[in-house]
Amino acid sequence: MKFTIESNELQKVLIKISGVVPSKSTLPILENILFTLNENKLTLVATDMEISMSASLDVRGSENGSIAVPAKRVMDTLRALPDAQIVFNADTGNNKIKMITENGEYNLIGESSQDYPAIPEFKSSNELLIESSVIESIISKTVFSVSTDELRPAMTGLLLQFKEKEMRAVATDGHRLVRIIYTNLPQIKDQKDIIIPSKALNLISKAIESGSNTVSFSSTHIKFSFKNLTLTSRLIEESYPNYESVIPLENDKKLLADRNILLSAVKRVSLYSSNTTHQIRFSMKKDDLKIMAEDIDFGGEAKEKIACSYSAENIEIGFNAIYLIDILSHIDSQEVIFNFSSSVKAAIIKPVTMKENEDVLMLVMPMRLNV
């Protein structure tokens, strides 16, 4: 197998797919990326057996073939090289690989392409044509609140619910929750729920290309097909908890504030909160919001007053500043609305202006205040 390529071109594509490669695996072959050359088309494949990515790029090919290349070694080499032309030459008989630049020669040992696992094929029962910008928006607004608790596997992924006239994207870690309802998406045949692992979502957001893309899925797998890249992931086959039941309906205390002003105030005040709890306190009176924090262990406190619109009774409520910062950073409207009921019940946060056909709801659980 032999081809010639610019080092930065190869590196650009490898960066996108190398995120799949497990750093330590019980199957050492997975620490490789499969290179396959067919005429002038080079296809690269990486998999961790749960998620597989494949990408193709144009090269000047001179000898077809296929070989598994150690991912870390080749990435490290490309990173260390200046932009240069590389002749990639692999002897598929003994798995010896030679990368030749104008001044250098780098020899590495690959593994037989025969030993590399195949990308799972699945029969897709649903297909959806969707804009990259929508995929990006869904991922960026939800993935931060996906759980990392492996004991609750369903919550370690993003729930997509397909209903008659809408699609819902839901993520929660048990402390906060995001639900977005889309009503302008193309219809699909089955009304079903799927849970996509967060690792797959993070990889897509790094690799996404602009334009229209196909998303196809079955009950076990999902596949995102972009122009030069595909990602196939196993779905999390668990039942998602009943999230609707925890979204309060009777939150009657409404606070309206400028998102940017609020976010920067929360960031500043939180610098003075306890390093372990990150607790800040919202104290609300008529048209007046005071944000406070104190660090009992190391001393220091901060408070800020913010102009807002609030007309319900006085209330104090504690929050983990990190959760609030996450939520406020992922809302793209100029103003936000908080809906509270009491200091021990979930608070709902919504953007004031939303895109047409997109309904965003975020929710955060408070922290118990000691005093």
Partner 1 sequence: MPSKKKYIAHLDLDCFFVSVERIKDPSLIGKPVIVGGKADERGVAAAASYEARKFGIHSAMPTARAQKLCPKLIIVRGHHGEYSRISDQLFNRMCEIAPVVERASIDEMNMDFTGCEKLFNNDLPGYMKIIQKIVLDEFKLPCTIGLASNATLAKIAANQVKPAGIIFVPHGKEKEYLAPIDISVIPGIGKKTEEFLRNRGFNKVSDIQAKSERELVSILGKHGSWISRAASGQGSDVIGEESDAKSISREETFAKDISDRKTLEKIIFELTEDICRRLRSNGWTAGTVTLKLRTSDFKTITRAKSIDPTNDDTVVARIARELLKTSYTSRLPIRLIGVRLTNFDEEEQMELLLSPEKEKKQVVLKTVDQIRKKFGKDVIHIGGE
Q: Which residues would be at the binding site for partner 1 (CB under 8 A)?
A: 147-149, 151-152, 155, 172, 174-175, 177, 241-243, 245-246, 276-277, 279, 318, 320, 344, 346, 363, 365-368, 370
Provide the minimum distance between the beta carbon of 283 and partner 1 in the complex, in angstroms, as a whole number.
17
β-pair partners for 168 = 161, 181
Which lies closer to partner 1 via its Cβ, residue 107 or residue 370? Answer: 370
Q: DSSP labels for 234-255?
A: E---SPPP-GGGGS-S---EEE
Provide the minimum distance between the beta carbon of 149 and partner 1 in the complex, in angstroms, as a whole number.
5
Backbone torsions φ then ψ of 330, nearest 5 degrees: -105, 15
Which lies closer to partner 1 via its Cβ, residue 73 or residue 278? Answer: 278
Which lies closer to partner 1 via its Cβ, residue 90 or residue 363? Answer: 363
Provide the minimum distance between the beta carbon of 304 and partner 1 in the complex, in angstroms, as a whole number.
22
Q: 85 Cβ partners below 8 Å, 6+ apart?
A: 4, 5, 6, 7, 101, 102
Which lies closer to partner 1 via its Cβ, residue 18 or residue 279? Answer: 279
> What is residue 200's DSSP assignment?
H
Which lies closer to partner 1 via its Cβ, residue 107 or residue 276? Answer: 276
Neighbours of 18 (CB within 10 A): 18
- Nearest Cα to Cα of residue 281 among 370, 172, 173: 370
Provide the minimum distance between the beta carbon of 276 and partner 1 in the complex, in angstroms, as a whole number.
6
Provide the minimum distance between the beta carbon of 33 and partner 1 in the complex, in angstroms, as a whole number.
24
Which lies closer to partner 1 via its Cβ, residue 307 or residue 344? Answer: 344
Provide the minimum distance between the beta carbon of 93 and partner 1 in the complex, in angstroms, as a whole number.
35
Which run of H or E residues covers position 166? none
Residue 182 near residue 128 (C-beta atoms within 8 A): no
Provide the minimum distance between the beta carbon of 247 and partner 1 in the complex, in angstroms, as a whole number.
9
Q: 201 Cβ partners below 8 Å, 6+ apart?
A: 139, 143, 146, 158
What is the spatial distance between Cα 349 and Cα 346, in angstroms, rounded to a whole number? 10
Helices (H), the chain: 7-18, 71-80, 132-142, 198-207, 259-270, 321-329
Which lies closer to partner 1 via its Cβ, residue 354 or residue 365? Answer: 365
